[in-house]
Each structure stands twice: as C-alpha cells, then as structure tokens.
Structure 1
Amino acid sequence: MTKQTSETVERSFCRICHAACPVNVHLDEGRVVKITGVDDDPLFKGYTCVKGRQLPDQIHDPARLRTALKRNPNGTLEEIASSDALDEVAAKLQAIIDEHGPRAVASYTGTGGYQNAPSHPTAAAFHRAIGSISYYTSVTIDQPMKATAPMRMGMWEGGPQNFSTADVMLAIGYNPMVSSYAPYGGLQGTDPFQTLRLRKEEGLKVIVIDPRKTELARQADIHLQVKPGEDPALLASLIHVILAEDLHDAEFCDRWVEPGHLDELRAAVDDFTPAYAAERCGVDADDIVAAARMFAAGPTGASGSGTGPSMSPHASLMEHLSLSLNVLCGRFLREGEQMDSGGLLPPAAPKRAQVIGPFGNPKGPQSRFRELHGYNGEMPCATLAQEIITPGPEQVRALIVNGGNPVAAWPDQTKSLEAMEALELLIVIDHRMTQTADFADYVFAPRLSLERADVPPFMDRWFRQPYACYTPAVVEPEGDLLNDWEVYWEIAERLGVDITLAGGPIPHRNADGSRPTDDEVLDLVYAKSRVPLDEVRAKNGTLVPEHAITIAPADPDASGRFQIALSDHMEELADVRNETTSAEVMRGFDPDVHTFRLISRRLKSHLNSLGRELPGLQRKNSTNYAYMNPADMDELGIVDDDLVKIASPHAELVGVVKAAPDVRRSVISMAHSWGSSTGTDEKVRDIGSPTNRLIDVENGYCTITGQAIQSAIPVSVEPISESALVG
C-alpha cells in the first residue's frame, strides 16, 4: 500500500549565509522535510549549497531552544516564559543605566543577526534610544577596512566595473566558490561555479593571490601562491610594474587622482621590484610581471580582497593598495553605463561618475583603548572585551549578544572568557546553546529563517542583476519564540523608549496586546528604499531590469580626488620594505621558533560556529582540522588525525592534522569559531579548537580600525601524544 502524504511546497530563501539562495521548502503537515533549489529562478537556476539543504534539521533539531532560559544562583538554567524574562532583563538594564549610564549597556550583533534584515537596524536603533554608543558587530572583526579605506581614500560614486562584463578579475585571498562572498566588483555566490565557467568561456582572465590552491585558484590563469601576510608587498610590486611600464590609465588619473599622489605612490613602491617581491613573497618574479600586465591590460575588471588578507598584518594598507590598483587602471563605471546590481532596498542616492570624499579617519566616539574611534555607528569590536573587564566610569557591564558567539569569534579568547565572567548581565539571543550561551544569565529562543518574513540586506546590493527577493514566513513557529527585533522592542517598551527606524518608531503594542508583525517592521526599516518594498514583495524571484541604475555624469564642479598616497600608508609601506617578514610586527615573534604561519579558511560545511549542531554537517567535519602540506607532515613525522600543539607568541592550542596538498609549505590552514568555552582542548576531536586563543588584541593591530591580526599568525608546530592531551 502506497503511503499517502500531504506534501506542499513553499518558496523562500536560505539565510544560513548571506548568499540568499532561493529554495523550495517541502512541507508535510507543516513539518519541513526537504529543501531543494528553485530550478526556474532566473539568477540562481536551482543552485543551493550543502549548508542550506540542512534547514530541516535546523528547524526541527531536538536540542533547539524553544523557550527562554534563566540562570539560577546555583548556575543551572531553567525555562522561563519570555515575558517574565523580559520583565527581569528590562529591570536589570534600567538599574545599570541609572547607576552607570547608558554606555554601560552594549550589544553585539553577529553573523547570525546579519542574516535577519530587521535585526541590525533595530539593535542599532535601540542603542540610539537609550543613548548608548556601545554597539558592536562582527563587521569590525574581520573586514573593517572595507569601510575605512574608501572613507579615507575617497570612493567612486558610480561603483566598480561590472563582473558580468569584466575582462579580468584579481581575487586577493577570497574564495567565492565556498564563502559566497562578493568582493569589490568580483564574483559572488549566485551559482558561482556555473557563473565562473561561463564568464571564462567569454574570455574572463582570473588572477588569484592566495596561500592555498583554492577552488577559485584552480580556475585561475595566474595563481600567485603568496606567503601568508605578504600581500601588501606583492600588491606594491604589481603597482611598481604598472607604473614603471606606464600601464596605468593616465587620463583617468590626471582627472581623478589628487595632484602629486601618483608620483608619491610611484616613489613609495620603487623598491618593490618583482625580484624583491618574488623572494619576499615566495612567488615567481615572471608571474608577478605577467599578473600586473594582465590586470592592467583589462581593459575592464576589478581588484578585490577577502577575509584572509583582511585579517593579516598591515590589513588597512593591503586594502588601500588593492583599491589603488583599481584607481590606477580606472576600473570604475562611467557615465551612461549600468550597474550589474539593482540595489533595490537602499534609499535612492546619486550614482555619478565622480569621486566623493575623502572623509578622513574615523571620527566616531572614542574607545577607552588604543586611541581608537567608532565609525558608521559602531565601536571597534577588538576592544569590547577590554571595555568589559577594565574598571572605569564607562565600563561595559551588560551585554546583549544577538546571533553571535563572542567566545568563539572575538579575537583573544582569554580576554573574551574573562569578559563573559565579569559581566553583570549577559543576554543571548540564539537557537542553540553556544559557547557564549554557556555564560548567559538569560537566553532568548528566536524564530529561525523559515519562520519569519525577510529580505536579503546584503545580497540586494550584490546580485549580478536587478533582482527582487522577499519571503513571508513559510513555517508556523512552535514554542515561546521571538524574532531578534522583538527582544529589543520588548525591552524598549519596558524602558519607555521608542525604537525609531527609517520610517518612524516601531508602534507600541496593539489594542489586543499583540506585537507589530515582521512585515510592519520591514516596512519601517525600508521606508525609504529606492524601490517600494511592496513591489519587491510582488515581484519576488524575478529580474526587474526596469530598475537598473544608469551612471549619471559628474557634476561640472566635482572636486573629489582619490588620495592614493596617504602619508600614513606611505610610511607603513616603507616599514614593510624594511621588514624581513610581516610577522615582525608582533612582539615575541622568534623566526627560529615560529616557523609556520596559521591562516584562516572557510569550510563548505560550516559557517563560523554554525553547523556543529547539524548532523548532516557534523558528519562532514567533526573538527576544524589543521590542514598542512604533506611534505611538512613528513618532516614532523605525523600523519592524518595525529595531534599537534600550535603555539603563537601569545598562547597555544591543540589541532588535529589533515594533509592538504593545496596548502603551501610552512602554512597551517584552520577554520575559526570552533572549540569549547573552557579554554582547553581535551575534546578537540569532537568540537575543534579556537584559533582566536592564539590572538592578542594588543600585540599586532591596525591603528586605524583596531582590528587584531587573526591570520598569517606566526606559530610553532610540534607533535603531541594523546596522553598529553588528556593530561
């Protein structure tokens, strides 16, 4: 007898990462049983990744939190109605504000929070409402220079040249085949394998700078397998070749570069010859010359960087040099050209063929540490643990963690653990017990992606064509669950303050006692969107070429100019030339001891700390392996699944070794955001180990952004026995 089912299919989009892949959600009596791609989607064409296909397990995970939790005096957690927990949290926050001022209350929005469109805007607005500057996000952990570099150099209002018609792509330390990351003018995650194949058939040339032979590097015309941390020297050498051979766009530079800066940059890179860079960076000098000529020949394309070099030494300089390559070769959209992406959700703004800015160094509120400042409404995350543990009149005493995992993600785990213990009040919004939730006083269980209405806040700006994307909730939530924004809104209601978004304040509770809906809040977040949100809803999953953006002419009196020879970066470039290795910026570095470099990496099966709780993904990677070149393993006398001790000048951890021929010699490649909340690694085979333990936020950091060095970390490696691990 054939079993009868009542399966239905609802369309939504995945939010495990920011790629926003459209999905068909297969439901049987309201239960998610399968996720498939949407074959007729005009942009993704059925593409999904392994992470998104695990949404049924995420939604129905037996260990998923479905109600709020409260910590008892004896340290145990017990279930509590969310309304009661919110009453208690609001009272405690008010007491802290009354005694210590609003800056004592901080929030951290992590990657999970950013996959929920109203989450970040609501959290930021909550802080404005209570008068607290202490708002932090994951953006300032891994790539803050994406904001500060164009702020300081100036930016092209019309944006970079389009990937869809690019002749050349320079990819510096990113791998969109795994991360779905969309760098400046580069390939992003809408069916990246097929998209890259088709573009290469059309003649696209690909240059990759990466210590690993990644999935993208395997498709490269030139792969510069650079030593970790030496990207600034390599980029300076590419600029050296372009300027020495007069391959730059002289007409564009004459019009849009600050007078004198081209000559100053030329002088600053004069010593970065291909021969010098080849020895310093571990690549072939002829390949450097060929890459520089290929990029300059274009005639269209863009240079863009990713997380690896963005977390390495001299990260802001690296980003400045990458952007300078685009300036030198005029790689920007001109009057009359159309942008690939529609950018439907941001407010309407001019898109002219001209430079805006520069705007100088970050001028936001001042941190108490290292003379750093906030920017774009956020404070630098690398100081937050110190803001918590260091006494003083502006000490942070309460923290709301929204879709993030500070114990696993913040640099310098030793300080992070101390900070979690020091907090008077820790509130976590998460669907699972993370390493950070282990310390929480209250945990609020959120609605997950299929249980809420949403739009993709990031990908809307990165889609390869103007594309409308929206989803209603397609699954009825079970339990005492709150959307992220609802937690902030409920606290604000109890504190007597309004959360004001672009379209005005979120309404107070309805006459029947109900909250506003997700869609009502989305309407407020995007009240000033370029395309009305109702139209995005109506045209969901379709291309909207009628909303393509055409670049307008420059203002006749446009005065902005690119500052490609900023004095501090030119001085830093001289420091780089005087180094033997970028590791010299870290105190305690011993070239005879720290002979390896540990680099960050992405995994197909996990996103930061997300994935360990999902059986289908856990089977693929039970730990964050320490990937090493087989020749290095032979020299150390180790084989797959052996244990090694990895020690930086700051701390040490234990890793489980796995051979990886794609990793260059003297490099260890590990994913971040793994490990326990104990500061020890006895369960490394089951839960991995935290690379953030190796980092010291005060030893090797960017003076502009505050970002700590989190990749290209100098380390020593030695085998250890299983008994040593247990001991």
Structure 2
Amino acid sequence: MTVNTGAEIESREVHFRNCTLCEAMCGLRIESHGDEVISIKGDAEDPFSEGFICPKAVALQDLQNDPDRLRQPLRRTADGWEEISWSEALDYTAQRLIQVREEHGRNALGVYLGNPNVHDHGNTLFILPFLRALATRKRFSATSLDQLPHMLANLTMFGNQGLFPVPDIDRCDLFVCIGGNPLASNGSLMSAGGVERRLKAIRERGGKVITIDPRKAETAKVADEHIFIRPGTDVLLLLATIHTLFDEDLINLGHLSDIIDDVELLRLAGEAYPADRVAQATGVAAEDIRRLARALAQTRQAVLYGRMGVSVQRYGGLCVWLIYCINILTGHLDRRGGLMFTQPAIDLPAIGAMSGHKGHFDRYRSSVRGLPEFGGELPASTLAEEILTEGPEQIKAMVVVAGNPVLSSPNGGRLDEAFSSLEFMVSIDMYVTETSRHADIILPPAGPLQRSHIDIVFATLAVRNTVKYSPPLFAKEENELHDWEIFLELSRRLSSRDLRSSIEAEIKYKLLKRLGPDGLADIYLQLGPYGRDLPASERWSGYLEIALQALHPGHPLRQLWKQGPLSEENRDLPKGLSIKTLLQHPHGVDLGPLRPCLPQRLFTKDKRINLAPKIYLSDLSRVKALLSENMEEGLLLIGRRHVRSNNSWLHNSHRLVKGKNRCTLLMHPRDASRYGVRDGEDAEVRSRVGVVVLPVEVTEDMMPGVVSIPHGWGHKRSGVSWRTASEHGGVSVNDLTDELWVDPLSGNAALNGVPVTVKSAASRKDKRRRGETLTQDGSVAI
C-alpha cells in the first residue's frame, strides 16, 4: 500500500485543461506531483461540460506515460529500428523527399493527415506552411473517411467549407438523430460534453428524442423512439420527408424566407418519392415517415441531425444536403433550438475566407479513378491505387502525420501492400503502428500533456460558444520536439532550394518559431469577434504582417489586422479575449448560447442560400436504382463506435480495452439462425476485398439483414510496438470495406452498407485464433 506523506500532498499541483481525445472538449481537473499524474477528474467549474468526463479522459495519462511511446526518432536498418538524433532524422527526411521530388516531380510526394491533427492547435496552425513546402497535389486525410459530405454542403450552400451548422441541443424540444450515436461519440460535428445529460434534459422538459439507424445503439436506449432503417437508403427517407412537407403544405421558411433560392426545384426533387413508394426499400413504414415530417414541421424548436451513418455511404453527399434542406424548409436553420452556427473566439471560417480559403471542389481529379479533389485533398479511398499504379503521377514517397490509414481506410490489406512498395516513407507518430511500421523514418512528437492547448477546431462545432486556454502540464525534454516544431523544421529544409528561397524560408522560420502556436492563436483571438483593441505600433503590426503572410501568402491580412476584430455582426459581443486574459480564467470562458446570425454569417457572394445546387440535382439520377434493389439477398455491413474507444489510437491503454471483448460481429437472431452461426462462436465474414474471423454476438438490437463490426481494431499485424493493443487485437473492419465503394458525388468512402457474406467458422480445421485477419484465399494475413 502506498502512503502519501503530508509534504507530497501539499506539493501537488492542480491543472485545468480540456480533454483532447474526442470532440466533446470536456473540462478536466488534473492533479500531479512532480512528473506524475495523480488523478484526472471532471472539472465541475467548466462552464461547458460542467464536470462530465467519459472513460477516455484517463487515457491522457496513459498516453503520456506509455512505455511503448517513442521518444526518439527511429530509422529503419537491415537489422531493425535504430534511434538517431533529431538533426540527423530531419536532414535525412528532407533530403529523401527532395530527391524523390527532383527525380519524379512534386506530385510523386503524397501526404496523409490523420484526425488527431485537429485535436492540437499547433498541428492545425503549422501544418499549412508544411503542406506548402511539400508542394504536392497528392494530399489525403481522414476528412474523406468521415465528414466530407458535410463540408461539401457547407461550401455549396453557405459559401464556406468550415461553416458547420450545429444542433442547438440545449434548447430544442425535438431531436431527431439519423445515422448518429452521440452517446458513444460524445457528439460528432456537435461538440457537446455531457451529451447524455443534454439529451435527457430534452425529455425532462417535455420534448422528444428519436433515433433512426440500422442498430439500436446506446443513444437509442435513452431516446423516446427508435426507427430501424436499411443501410444506404436514408436518401429515400429524406426525399420522402421533403415530399410530405410539400404535399401537406408544411413548408415554413421563417425569417430566412427572403434569402432562400430554388424552393420549387427542391419540391420537384422530392416529387417522385412519396412515403408509400420508399417504405419497402427503407424498411420504414410510410406512416412513420409522414409522422416524422409533421413532427419536424410542427415543433417550434426542433432539429434533424445526421452523422456517420448518412455521411459514409454511397449517397452521403445527397443525404447531408437533404438534411440541411429539411431543417431549412421547416424553419429550423439559424433559429433557437434548431440548427445554428457558432461564433467562436478563434473564427476559423472567417479567417480562412479573409485569406482566400473558403474551400473549393473538383478543381482536379485523382489520376487513376478520376475522383474529385475537395479543399486540395483527394479521396483517401484512392490512396493505394495512386501508389501502386505506374504512370507520371504515381506516388513514390509518403508523409503520414498522426494517421493509421491501414486500419482506418477501406481495403487496409491493399494499403499495406502499397506502403511496402514506396521508395521512401516518413511517419510523424508516437508509435510503430500498423501504418508507420512501413516507414523508413519515424519522427515522434512530445506527449499530449507536454503541450499547451486551446480548441480552435471543435469550438466551431460546439453547442455553446466557449473558449479555454491551458499551458502545458509537463515540460518537454531537451531531446523532444512538438509536432509543430517538426513541421517547422521540415518546412525550412524543404523550402531552401536557392539563395532567395533560403532567405525567405529562414525569415519565416524564425518568425514562426518565435511566435509558436500560442502566439499565432493569440493573434487569431484578437482578430476574432471577441478580440481586444489591437496594438497601434507600426513596428508590431509589421512584424505580425510578416508572420501572417508566412501562413497566408499573398492575402491582405495586414489590412484585416489594422481594422480589428472580424465579423461586423458581432460588434455587440463582449471584447477583450487574448491568451493573457484566458490565463486568468483556467476553467474557461462562457461566451453564451448559439445566436441567430444570418445572413451576415453567410460566405456566399450574394448572402443567399441556394437550396438546389446543380451537383446535387444531377446526382439524384442514381437514387431510383435503390427502389428496385433486392432487399432479401445477402447481408449489409455497418461499423460502430464505443465510448471507450476512438478509432485505432487508444487501444494501448489497458484501462480502456480491459473487460469484455468489444470487437464482435453483431447479428439479429433471425440472421444468425439463417446463416448457421451461434452466439459466442466464431464467424467468417467475407467481402469482395477480404475475410475476417471474429466471435458473434446475437442481439435484437440489430435490424435483420444487417451486421456490425466496430472500427479501429485489427492490431494483429506484425512489427507494431504497442503491446497492449496487440494483446487485444480484434479484426479490422477495413479489411472488409471496399475502396471502390464510394459516394461518386463527393468521393467520400462508403464504409457503411458494404455487402458481405457470413458463415460459421467454429469448426475450421486449422482452428484459427480469434482476431486474426484472413486474406481472400483464406490464409492468415500479416
């Protein structure tokens, strides 16, 4: 038994910060002694999360102290990995990338960005000059495995890919959730610490929560009603909802009626899809569809919210567009209790717009399959073929930053093959993962508690305006670098191609290194809607102009700096925010509820909303085929998420993976009987691209005809460094998902609704161990 001395207790430090492991931004109260974390609890004084935390929060301590976490750069040798110095690692990485670029052209370089990047303001702010230094069009990220359809709708309807409408969940009386599970995600594109409390509050004030999903998930258990729907047919339900709204004269544009265009085109789009016609295909009764439409139209404070189930499927682009349209047609956009826009302290959409980055779509296409770019990125589903297909645009070298696409992208087996074929690969990662094991160099950043933190991405998605800044809990060691420092050092080396570029690179390097992410965040805070009066010194503003130009070259940010805070419609908001003032409020600052802000907040040229962009109307021609598909044949695979997991990057925390095996195949009893599998026994699941074997969990929570495997698992591949994850390996659902199975409109991966077959594997002669992944020919994959 350990006994704490009085002196030790007195020397404990208390630190307040936000959890950085998901979107919820929950406030933490962390006690430490020396370099040891004593406890992590919810911060009851945090104005946003009010003391709530989920089990993931304690994993911050596990990540920081994990003995498997890399502390020094690694280089691959014939005898395995060897530790090398930072200067040697950075020089070698830059030299090899420059060599590939000179031999094969700039687009022979590829880069993949994983989702942890947006949980760190240093990564978010310093990735831009790094990407500019790489100068390649072959950019990929987790965006096209997730929320790309939402961002496309933001761009085409509101004029800015980063302007997300967010459910005003704290004031709504009807919350309809289609294809989402906020109790497991803590809110996704809806940052909402303590989301279960917020959902229960809707019911306590006499409101209603409805979930629509092929699985009766955790959120459905606290809802008033759950409706099963066949995967991939959500677009039919949404079109039938629009048909009902027009057919029963339920349209109410409210205060936005003067800025809405093409309502009639939307009526015509839904005309061919009455509820009775789509009922069989969707599995949703026609009367339930009509009842849902009436409830949305007749409830004053209501919202329709859609997430992964509608986003990562073959009709993801159409689904998100239609969800936005339904909220508009029922008068629930930019209205209390409906779908509203944030006004964050660091206003990324406004800053992006002022620097010329509102977003763009389909400026060029992938070289093999011809899928469109979005915001300068190609769909991640094309990554393997862009590496493996010979030609002038073939990727020869990869930079992977905080990502594990072998487990997170479709057809992970082919990505394994692709990464092993590269001339050079560098991973910026804390571990030797299923992806970084293919690298020639691994550059590990300092730990999550060794950096300061201010949420600048998820504040734009929050259900209430809030901001918090936290200094580092622990200092990094002398031989460690933060992610942003790695980006900066590589940018400096990659940009020095001649004397002039060397001088420019050195100036930018010194300025940005001096400012760091906190200095840049401070500038953006003061440019934001709650910013303070700006320094008048020409010397100071000139210095800032150079620093801003390093991030946003060629754009008039000096004028922006001189004219003061952004967003003319926000002149009545409280002012004075800076890093200095936030340090005086360690629990965070409450900036108030979401407020109506249209049309001022729109970034369209005419400050109007187009309900019927041509790209969506043209894509509707694909939908008719859904009505004639054979609903009785085969099984459809969907993913799922657990509150103790976050993709693949928390499975090395023992406290998060211990207990009951969560990597199971969920099946309805009728399907289990039909395909001869039993609860607890192994089943073989096969798709076009792969085969896996895992235990079955029979449950009536699944819709008949649908099976589910969680994403993020599959840690049985050889050569990885995280031992705990390997002991709880499971299988990777993305060894079954198909890279050819995409939403052709947006290019987003269709990870849900994948056709599979299932059969019993309990009596396999080779008695393969549970959790192993099989190749198409039935052999064990490594």
TM-score of Structure 1 vs Structure 2, range by shorter chain: 0.7 to 0.9
Work out whether 1:59 is the aligned partner of 2:75: no
Match of 1:174 in 2: 180
Shift of 1:226: 0.6
**1:587-606 Cα deviation digits (max 9, x unpaired):** xxxx77x6111101111111
The answer as to whether partners of 1:430 and 1:443 remain within 8 angstroms in 2 is yes
Whether the aligned pair in 2 keeps the contact of 1:310 and 1:319 (CA below 8 Å) is: yes
Any conservation in 2 of the 1:234–1:281 contact (CA below 8 Å)? yes
Q: Does 1:414 align with 2:413?
A: yes
Query: Does structure 1 residue 137 correspond to structure 2 residue 141?
Result: yes
The amino acid across from 2:754 in the alignment is I
Q: Distance in 2 between matches of 1:263 and 1:549?
A: 29
Deviations 1:464-494 (A, max 9, x none): 3332211111023357332111111111222
Pick from 582, 598, 620: which aligns with 1:573?
Answer: 620
Alignment of 1:245-260 (within 5 A): 245-249=248-252, 255-258=258-261
**Which stretch has the larger CA shift, 139-148 or 248-257?**
248-257
Question: Aligned partners of 1:691 and 1:2: how far apart in 2?
Answer: 46
Counterpart code for 1:425: F
Q: Describe the SS at the equivalent of 1:95.
A: helix
Which sits farther off after the overlay, 709-718 or 412-421?
412-421
Give 3-state SS (helix, strand or coil) of 1:633's partner: helix
SS across alignment from 2:263: helix
Corresponding position: 1:112 with 2:116: yes
Post-superposition offset of 1:453: 0.8
Please tell me the residue identity of whatever aligns with 2:751: Q
Give 3-state SS (helix, strand or coil) of 2:370's partner: coil
Q: 1:621 to 1:485 in 2, by over 3 A?
A: farther
Q: Does 1:696 align with 2:738?
A: yes
Structure 1 match to 2:233? 230
Aligned to 2:316: 315
Instruction: Tell me which amino acid in the other structure corresponds to 2:746.
Output: T
* Aligned residue among 626, 629, 642 for 1:603: 642
**d(CA) in 1 for partners of 2:662, 2:166:** 38
Deviation (angstroms), 1:450: 0.9
Partners of 2:350 and 2:676 lie apart in 1 by 60
**How far 1:632 sits from its partner (Å)?**
2.7
Q: Could you tell me which residue of structure 2 aligns to residue 717 of structure 1? A: 758
Cα drift, residue 217 of structure 1 = 1.9
What is the identity percentage for the equivalent residue pairs of Structure 1 and Structure 2? 26
State the distance in 2 between where 1:392 and 1:524 align.
44
User: In 2 relative to 1, CA 360–269 (structure 1 residues): closer, same or farther, beyond 3 Å?
Assistant: farther
Q: Distance in 2 between matches of 1:566 and 1:596?
A: 34
Does residue 332 (structure 1) correspond to residue 340 (structure 2)? The answer is no
Richer in helix (by share)? 2
On the 8 A contact 2:359/2:375 being kept in 1, the answer is: no
Partner of 1:425: 424
Partner letter of residue 48 of structure 1? I
Structure 1 contact 65–432 (Cα < 8 Å) conserved: yes
Q: 1:342 to 1:536 in 2, by over 3 A?
A: farther
Q: What residue in structure 2 maps to residue 295 of structure 1?
A: 296
Cα distance in structure 2, aligned partners of 1:11 and 1:287: 47
Residue 673 in 1 paired to residue 719 in 2?
Answer: no
Counterparts in 2 of 1:684 and 1:492: CA distance versus 1, 3 Å: closer
Give the distance between the partners of 2:128 and 2:687, measured in 1 at CA.
36
Compute the displacement of 1:45 (Å). Answer: 1.4
1:162 aligns with 2:168: yes
Q: Which residue of 1 aligns with 2:245?
A: 242
Task: Confirm or deny: 8 A CA contact 1:383 1:706 kept in the other structure.
Answer: no
TM, length-normalised to structure 2: 0.81
Q: Deviations over 1:677-700 (max 9, x none)?
A: 7599xx9984111221223323x3
- Give me the whole-angstrom Cα distance separating, in 2, the residues matched to 1:516 and 1:529: 18
Instruction: Name 2:544's counterpart in structure 1.
Output: none
Within 5 Å, which residues of 2 pair with 1:88-107? 88-107=92-111
Structure 2 counterpart of 1:451: 450
Checking the alignment, whether the CA contact within 8 Å between 1:435 and 1:676 is kept in structure 2 is yes
C-alpha distance in structure 2 between counterparts of 1:159 and 1:338, whole Å = 6
Instruction: Compute the displacement of 1:361 (Å).
Output: 7.4
Matched, 1:205 2:208: yes
Say yes or no: does 1:490 pair with 2:489.
Answer: yes
Q: Deviations for 1:638-687, whole angstroms, at most 9, x for unmatched residues?
A: 3333111111233322222123332222211111222147599xx99841
Unmatched runs of 5 consecutive residues or more in structure 1: 351-358, 585-590
Q: 1:633 aligns with which of 663, 668, 672?
A: 672
Greater alpha carbon shift after TM alignment, 363-372 vs 519-528: 519-528
SS of equivalent residue, structure 1 residue 601: coil
Tell whether 2:581 aligns with 1:539: no
Give CA-to-partner distance per residue, 1:504-545, whole Å, 9 cap, x none. Answer: 9442698xxxx8655345446767444354234443423344
TM-score (normalizing by structure 1): 0.87
The whole-number CA distance in structure 1 between the counterparts of 2:117 and 2:707 is 30
What amino acid maps onto 1:457 in structure 2?
A: I
Q: Specify whether residues 239 and 340 from structure 1 end up closer, same or farther in structure 2 by C-alpha distance, changes over 3 A only.
A: closer
Aligned amino acid, residue 171 of structure 1: C
Q: Is the 8 A contact 1:124 1:135 kept in 2?
A: no
The Cα offsets for residues 580-638 of structure 1, whole Å up to 9 and x where unpaired, read as 466x8xxxxxx77x611110111111100022211111214555211222343344443
Q: Report SS of the residue matched to 1:64.
A: coil
Contact 1:249 1:329 (8 Å CA) reproduced: yes
- Determine if contact 2:281/2:626 at 8 Å carries over to the other structure: no
Selected match of 2:42 from 37, 45, 56: 37
- Where does structure 2 lack aligned partners over 5 or more consecutive residues? 352-357, 532-576, 720-724, 769-778
Contact 2:167 2:303 in 1 (8 A): yes
1:163 is aligned with what amino acid?
A: I
1:458-469 map, 5 Å: 458-469=457-468
Deviation at 1:437, TM superposition (A): 1.7
Counterpart residue type for residue 622 of structure 2: D
User: Whole-Å Cα distance in 2 between the matches of residues 599 and 581 of structure 1?
Assistant: 21
One of 49, 55, 62 as aligned partner of 2:54: 49
